[in-house]
Structure 1
Amino acid sequence: MQVTVDQDRCCGSGQCVLTAPAVFDQSEDDGLVRLLTERPDPAEQATVRLAAALCPGGAITLRDT
């Protein structure tokens, strides 16, 4: 799985950080998503998929590799 984020679509809700904190973080400056890893471990993939589904801005894109 490869993860990308679009900060222009991020609304700073933080759902991704709460759901998958090993993969996502939030900037302290503007509250926007920060991607910690583009290729999460297989054990994290289910929570990353959930984080993408919960994102109100649709800022998270997943691609199976």
Structure 2
Amino acid sequence: MSIISRDKKPKGVGKSPHFKMRIAPALREQLDVEAAEQGMSLANWFKNLAREELKKKGIEPKG
């Protein structure tokens, strides 16, 4: 008889949930270039854009 023990901790503890979106390849290339020119990953570039837009609307970004 064998007993299987599973980790009870939720996966990804301390990490934000994944966010997926589809982007046309040509647009993706342009976005990758812009993000690289600013020295960041595309994901970080999007997060910065989102934070800036919230601030423009008078909303203080969380996280």
TM-score by length of 1: 0.26
Question: Greater Rg, structure 1 or structure 2?
Answer: 2
Considering fraction of residues, name the structure with more helix. 2
User: What TM-score do the two structures reach when normalised by structure 2?
Assistant: 0.27
Bigger proportion of residues as strand: 1
The structure with higher relative contact order (CA 8 Å, sep 6+) is 1
